[in-house]
Amino acid sequence: MKRSEFRTSLMGWRAALITLAAAVISFAAVLIPLVNTVVDRDGTIAVRDQRIDELEQELDSANAKLEVRQEVISELREENQELRAALPYTVAAEDVHDIRATATLTLAKRGDTLDLNSTLPNFDAGDFVYSDALSYDGETLDVSYGVSSVVLASGNADYATCAAATGWAKKSSLDPHVLEAPTTCVRLQSERYAAVQVLRYDANSVDLTITVWE
């Protein structure tokens, strides 16, 4: 076969292939919509598309409600914080400290000096005490520098009421008459709380009950 004849034959084959490819594409363009039409004859795709639209609308509505509720929650939390700030401070039962020492004893005029941080019987100082000391001078109960006290407006003195009390004032002495009611809280330099109640007193001695918490 001559070279010119070969080229003519090759060009013929190429033209035939191009024609075939164009025919296939044209057939596919007709067939694909037909397949889609056949598949969706019962409206399944359309129904699902509609359901998707409905679900998206429900989601948008739910998100809008959620945003509103979150704003309400934030406002309520702020109101609760303000209400808590306005409430008086209280001590939860689980936060109440254990009793460190307690005793009912008699102090003679210018007699022993008690160490209110002591765990020895009757708050024995054991040696000279520099802080948180208590003694009796025949008229008042003398306390060392740095001790504060407050008389509760209501309720008895215990750890919870003393820890929640306000209006503390440093005192160098305590009035036995005021101490006859169990309403006096004492705050030591050691930051411990104590309750002191006078049971009886005269010019020579005083009977009292002392409780100190850890």
The pTM of this model reads 0.60
pLDDT, position 94: 82
Q: What is the pLDDT of residues 44-68, one digit of tens each?
A: 888 888 888 888 999 999 999 999 9
Q: What is the pLDDT of residues 117-150, one digit of tens each?
A: 999 999 998 788 889 999 999 999 999 988 999 9
Tell me: do 97 and 182 sit in the same domain.
yes
Tell me: do 137 and 69 sit in the same domain.
no
Residue that finishes a domain, picked among 41, 59, 86: 86
> Which candidate, 155, 151, 161, places its Cα nearest to that of 193?
161
Q: What is the pLDDT of residues 71-124, one digit of tens each?
A: 999 989 988 887 766 656 677 888 889 999 999 999 999 999 999 999 999 999
Contacts 24+ apart (CB under 8 A), 48-57: none
Domain extent, residue 175, equals 93-213
Report the number of distinct structural domains present in the chain: 2
Tell me: do 97 and 191 sit in the same domain.
yes
Contact 141, 206 (CB under 8 A): yes
pLDDT, position 20: 61
Tell me: do 74 and 123 sit in the same domain.
no
Tell me: do 105 and 199 sit in the same domain.
yes
The amino acid present at 49, given as its one-letter code, is D
Residue that finishes a domain, picked among 71, 86, 101: 86
